[in-house]
Structure 1
Amino acid sequence: PLIPGHEVVGRIEAIAADVSGWSVGQRVGVGFLGGHCGRCEPCRRGDFVNCRDQPFTGMTRDGGYAEMMTARMTGLVAIPDGFDAIDAAPLLCAGITTFNALRRSQARAGELVAIHGIGGLGHLGVQYARRMGFRVAAISRGEDKRALATKLGAHHYIDSDRENAAAALQALGGAKAILATVSSPSAMSPLVDGLAPHGELLVAGAGQEPLSVSTLGLIFGERSVRGTMVGTSIETEDMLGFSLLQKISAMIETFPLEEGQRGFDRMMRNEARFRVVLTMD
């Protein structure tokens, strides 16, 4: 059995003798990636995200649903002064995932970027996209998300239950990038037709079924589809600094640690709006 929890903030209680650059009492965080090894081929090439010997916090190594945990030095993230732990923690996976996807995209300020899904990832994606200077279209099912999407910063809202989302994006000029945060590949696939020439579908939502796209839609317009996954610890520090500067925050529900099971169950039932954070006195 493993302790879950992959977005963790606390203070260093003790450090190993060979650790440098960190100190006891320092506020730090750990995200989904538990720290690269520095020895494998991807690490030697500077590709730390794809380290072959990297623990996944809460999945292959005990996570943060506890009073204490251990972490690799290379997985530590310095938490800026002025950032409350409750606000910083839920950004250590969802925040860096959406921030890095947009920052690494081919889109430039002023161009149309679409965020597919207004949930745990998407509600942050809309905020980052707006603060980065993009023209933002939010795509979701139903009219009930329109007000929230607008409040978060979307310039346009597309209800995919009532209209063809790809056609709506083309009517806006075509999206330079679409960040897909939903867990349904079949819902992502048709959006390729909403991309501008050289546009990218950035897949951040994990689903079990295959992703199927029209090859013609990729060839004509030279569009592309690629996956995107979190970031390094220093990139996470970039994200936290940007979030603090731009006043970007996750919508959260808090539960005391002793009620962790209740919070976990609420999250797994997709009832939380949008991130569950466990707190300790």
Structure 2
Amino acid sequence: MSSSTSKSYTVPATQTAAIVAERGGSIVVKTDHPVKSQAQLAPGECLVKLHCTSVCHTDLHAAFGDWPLEAETPLIGGHEGVGEIVAIGEHTTESPVKIGDRVGIKWLADSCLNCEQCRKGREQNCDQAKLSGFTVDGTFSQYVVSYVRHVTPIPDGFDSNAAASILCAGLTVYRALKYSQTSPGDWVVLPGAGGGLGHLAVQYAKYMGLRVIAIDTGAEKKELCQGLGADLWIDFKESKDIVADIKRATGGDGAHSAVVTAASGAGYQQAIEYLRKGGTLMAVGLPGKATLDASIFFTVFKSISILGSYVGNRQDAREALDIAARGGVKCHYAVRKLGDLQDIYEELKKGTISGRVVVDMTKE
């Protein structure tokens, strides 16, 4: 389709955006950052006026540059945005979306859709992948350029603030659980269960009929996880033996799977010990420099599977959103302003945020 439509929008020349000028630098909020006009959009590109965007631990890594992969700078971070398409590039053909549609922008902004990885449903592993807030500008701005093939339609009636975190946090844990080789009634361990990804993982796991062991620390996160239906809570600062606690709760055999969302190496190290024979470790969290230290002997002897699970594809995103829109999953979030972003990053570093933070992009 082309950009012609009965609905039209006035796009300003400038906007407010939160920018990290260089690796490890602080965030500067600018009110005069340029906005691409409709004429400047390439075929396949669309301009989205954002309603809101969630904040992810990945945004912190991108800004501070502590991953083996470095983000492009200057950087506009963010990759969990919801907004309305206000323009589409000329000569865009067979667009699955139109001007006026409410859509979500994910970590995976675009991929070729034609390579082996894309054809096999691993679009996120495409060599030509563009990553929102990492290799292309993200959602910490009032307008963002995205791609018609990869924006995700938001179900009618689903609140934008509630939908934002599903686009990465929800999508990521949903896919990990989907491929965790578990069946209803199985036990799954969720280290980091009270965090942004973890509290959604608790809910998706319960939706799938799994029994949940939530691991985290603090009274607020305990209350959150238990309120979401976790079958067992373990405070890692209070437990004297996490492995023994898990085995005791699971009849001595251990858990069927562990989905590790924590952005540190510690959550991975015990998994081989507390997983039962034939269990599956789903590696999700992305610590910058930590290594996976697992006993090769017991990994083989117990027939343990270790699978890396990296965000999700377009179909996973639709499934994750559909479950949430129908009430199967609810994101617990606090709404802040874009000017609070530096403070939010500091809170993420300290691990003091329960649930998720959503930035209202309609407020300065």
The residue number in structure 2 matching 1:204 is: 284
1:122 aligns with 2:198: yes
Is the CA contact (8 Å cut-off) linking 1:12 and 1:26 kept in structure 2? yes
Is the CA contact (8 Å cut-off) linking 1:175 and 1:199 kept in structure 2? yes
1:87 aligns with 2:140: no
1:213 aligns with 2:289: no
Misfit runs of 4+, over 4 Å? none
Is the CA contact (8 Å cut-off) linking 2:260 and 2:267 kept in structure 1? no
Is the CA contact (8 Å cut-off) linking 1:74 and 1:233 kept in structure 2? no
The residue number in structure 2 matching 1:280 is: 361
Is the CA contact (8 Å cut-off) linking 1:186 and 1:212 kept in structure 2? no
**Which of 236, 261, 268 is matched with 1:181 structurally?**
261
Structure 1 residues 217 and 167: alpha-carbon distance in aligned structure 2, compared to 1, 3 A threshold: farther
Give the TM-score of the pair, scaled to structure 1. Answer: 0.93
Superposed CA deviations along residues 20-54 of structure 1, whole A, max 9, x for unmatched, are 22110000001111121123332244431211101
1:67 aligns with 2:147: no
1 CA distance for matches of 2:137 and 2:326?
A: 32
Is the CA contact (8 Å cut-off) linking 2:189 and 2:258 kept in structure 1? yes
Higher strand share: 2
Give ranges in structure 2 of 5+ residues lacking alignment: 1-73
Give the TM-score of the pair, scaled to structure 2. Answer: 0.73
2 CA distance for matches of 1:153 and 1:12?
A: 37
Post-superposition offset of 1:213: 0.6
1 CA distance for matches of 2:320 and 2:172?
A: 10
State the identity as a percent.
35
Higher helix share: 1
> Which amino acid letter does the alignment assign opposite residue 76 of structure 2?
I
Higher-Rg member (1/2): 2
> Which amino acid letter does the alignment assign opposite residue 125 of structure 1?
A
Give ranges in structure 1 of 5+ residues lacking alignment: none
Is the CA contact (8 Å cut-off) linking 2:282 and 2:308 kept in structure 1? yes
Structure 1 residues 145 and 267: alpha-carbon distance in aligned structure 2, compared to 1, 3 A threshold: closer
What secondary structure is seen at the aligned counterpart in 2 of 1:89? helix
Is the CA contact (8 Å cut-off) linking 1:142 and 1:160 kept in structure 2? no
Structure 1 residues 211 and 247: alpha-carbon distance in aligned structure 2, compared to 1, 3 A threshold: same
Is the CA contact (8 Å cut-off) linking 2:180 and 2:281 kept in structure 1? no
What secondary structure is seen at the aligned counterpart in 2 of 1:18? coil
Superposed CA deviations along residues 66-98 of structure 1, whole A, max 9, x for unmatched, are 111111222210100111111101111110111
2 CA distance for matches of 1:190 and 1:226?
A: 15
Root-mean-square deviation (CA, aligned residues, Å) is 1.8
1 CA distance for matches of 2:262 and 2:197?
A: 8
